[in-house]
Amino acid sequence: MSEEILKLSCRELQRKIAKGEIKSSEAVSAVFTRIEKHDAQIGAFLSTFKQDALARAKEIDGKIAKGQSVGALAGVPIAVKDNMCTAFGATTCASKILENFHSPYNATVIDKLLAADAVIIGKTNLDEFAMGSSTENSGLKKTVNPWDKSRVPGGSSGGSAAAVAAQMCFAALGSDTGGSIRQPASLCGVAGLKPTYGRVSRYGLVAFGSSLDQIGPLTKDAADCALMLNVIAGHDEKDSTSVDEKTAPKCDYLAKIDEPVKGLKIAVVPELFQGADGEVVAAVKGAIELYKKSGAEIIEIKMPHFEYSVAAYYIIATAEASSNLARYDGVHYGYRTKKAGDYIEVYTKSRAEAFGPEVKRRIMIGTYALSSGYYDAYYLKALKVRNLIRSDFIAAFQKADCIMMPISPTTAFKIGEKMADPLQMYLLDVYTLAVNLAGVPGMSVPCGFDKNNLPIGLQIIGSTFQEEKLLRIAKMFENQTDFHKKKPQL
């Protein structure tokens, strides 16, 4: 029974729970049986809330037994990346500096999940402060890819992606600053959506790159992404960068998910395929071919500034990070050194002892780019290039409904393989960063496997606030394929 429950989508599970066919407490127990059996190896979770989750599940089961109405995620076990504040448990960002931090409040997305009657079962591992592409930068734990335990799950939402792939939850929240939802989704063979910047409130998401960060779901399929977006999207007065209903009204993303987009036009950028491995290119081209066979028009375009996105991103994101992470001062919260003499040493030694190498590296690059004498040459230049990159997207969406390309140039790589050279690791983000710089929504959808049986993701990029169409386009692919239904043998 318990194995059968784990195979259900969020939608199916919620329906069965709401009808009383399955109890939420059964689903939560099934998930914890799975976690207890496999997470010692996978390492997806930094913390779990078994007793509280079971108690909450019983509460929801009680509501249903009494015939009370329940929310869109009633009784569904959900995992959350550990850079979103929860007023229960710790919020660590996988950093030693926040290892014992207990947030006094919930992030808005957490309140929204709870209001929809979801059961939050635990918090997942990430690259420290979401800085990385493999989850190897976690200061607290190692996470492996459920498809091959000698390989990385991708990052930075690697714990969330691994938890969904290994069926240790029914859906998870991640955050995406430069690909951190889409890339691990691709490497773990699950669906992942980065919404338009401003679609989901960032209140309570620990800040990394404030003009780039966006929360989104990792799920078993596109329709579950739509369901999760229904729950988490919307204006929040606590986040002045979340869009109001007048600018970009949210809609029911699930309502028309099964309606194909008529006269679908897909843009592709032929030059961009040169940088990816042969098997990745073949799978992504195969996916585009399938759309074509179903009647979509394929339009070849150029995005002349796309190739500059790695250079622009690693100035803008690090500049914002260096400023955001200045708050870790060893005084208000977080780790404090025991070796300090004066106040400045509290600051400098606490940070030196508790931040990991990648976080230090990014603070250093960002500080350099913002420092007197270099600001114009680096930071201002990068912001201008960002504008050019966005103009490429605006031009593309005048011709097409979406753009398709790979997510990652390779499938999941071996643990440790890319850690020696930070620049080589940054270059792996070549396909994902431009989406954040332009603020547009992007998805990862499983579209094949390589010869080692490792998942490959198709990236579908939509126009600003067009998540509804983007999700429908993704669903069109799933309707004709079963890549998203394949599960790893643990």
Partner 1 sequence: MGQKKIDIEQVRQVAKLSRLDLSEDEIAQFSGQLSAILEYIEKLNQLDTSKVEPLAHCLPINNCLREDVVKQSLGTEKTLANAPQSDGQFFIVPKILEEPGGL
The token duo for 273 is 């395929």
Residue 237 in the binding site for partner 1 (CB under 8 A): yes
Q: Which is nearer to partner 1, 24 or 309 (CB)?
A: 309
Residue 102 in the binding site for partner 1 (CB under 8 A): yes
Q: Can you tell me the distance from the alpha carbon of 38 to that of 163, in angstroms, rounded to the nearest whole number?
A: 10
Over the window 104 to 143, marking each residue x when it contacts partner 1 by CB under 8 A and - when it does not, the resulting string is: xx--------------------------------------
Residue 336 in the binding site for partner 1 (CB under 8 A): yes
Segment contacting partner 1 by CB under 8 A, of 33-41, 174-182, 259-267, 324-332? 324-332
Over the window 379 to 398, marking each residue x when it contacts partner 1 by CB under 8 A and - when it does not, the resulting string is: -xxxxxxxxx-x--------
Q: Can you tell me the distance from the alpha carbon of 170 to that of 160, in angstroms, rounded to the nearest whole number?
A: 10
Least spacing, CB of residue 333 vs partner 1, in Å? 4
Member of 346, 395, 419, 490 binding partner 1 (CB under 8 A)? 346
Residue 334 in the binding site for partner 1 (CB under 8 A): yes
Q: Can you tell me the distance from the alpha carbon of 318 to that of 212, in angstroms, rounded to the nearest whole number?
A: 11
Element (H, E) at 123: strand 119-124
Least spacing, CB of residue 448 vs partner 1, in Å? 31
At 112 the three-state DSSP class reads: helix
Least spacing, CB of residue 122 vs partner 1, in Å? 21
Q: What is the CA radius of gyration of the chain?
A: 21
Tell me which residues are annotated as active site: 81, 156, 180
Least spacing, CB of residue 426 vs partner 1, in Å? 7
Q: Can you tell me the distance from the alpha carbon of 232 to that of 467, in angstroms, rounded to the nearest whole number?
A: 13
Q: Which is nearer to partner 1, 44 or 85 (CB)?
A: 85
Member of 170, 203, 306, 355 binding partner 1 (CB under 8 A)? 355
Q: Which is nearer to partner 1, 73 or 215 (CB)?
A: 215
Residues 6+ apart with CB under 8 A from 34: 2, 6, 166, 167, 168
Q: Can you tell me the distance from the alpha carbon of 108 to that of 235, in angstroms, rounded to the nearest whole number?
A: 10
The interface with partner 1 within residues 407-446 (CB under 8 A) comprises: 422-423, 426, 438-440
The interface with partner 1 within residues 168-187 (CB under 8 A) comprises: none
Q: Which is nearer to partner 1, 351 or 484 (CB)?
A: 351
Member of 371, 453, 479, 480 binding partner 1 (CB under 8 A)? 371
Q: Can you tell me the distance from the alpha carbon of 447 to that of 471, in angstroms, rounded to the nearest whole number?
A: 15
Least spacing, CB of residue 431 vs partner 1, in Å? 17
Q: Which is nearer to partner 1, 220 or 386 (CB)?
A: 386
In this structure, the number of other CB atoms found within 10 A of the CB of residue 175 comes to 26
Segment contacting partner 1 by CB under 8 A, of 115-123, 138-146, 242-250, 408-416? 242-250
Q: Can you tell me the distance from the alpha carbon of 25 to that of 59, in angstroms, rounded to the nearest whole number?
A: 9
Residue 348 in the binding site for partner 1 (CB under 8 A): yes
Least spacing, CB of residue 82 vs partner 1, in Å? 16
Nearest residue to 15 (alpha-carbon basis) of 74, 80, 63, 60: 74
> Could you give the strand order of the β-sheet that contains 265-268, starting from the edge strand earlier in sequence?
45-48, 119-124, 77-81, 171-175, 215-219, 191-194, 442-449, 455-462, 402-406, 265-268, 297-300
**Which amino acid is present at 244?**
D
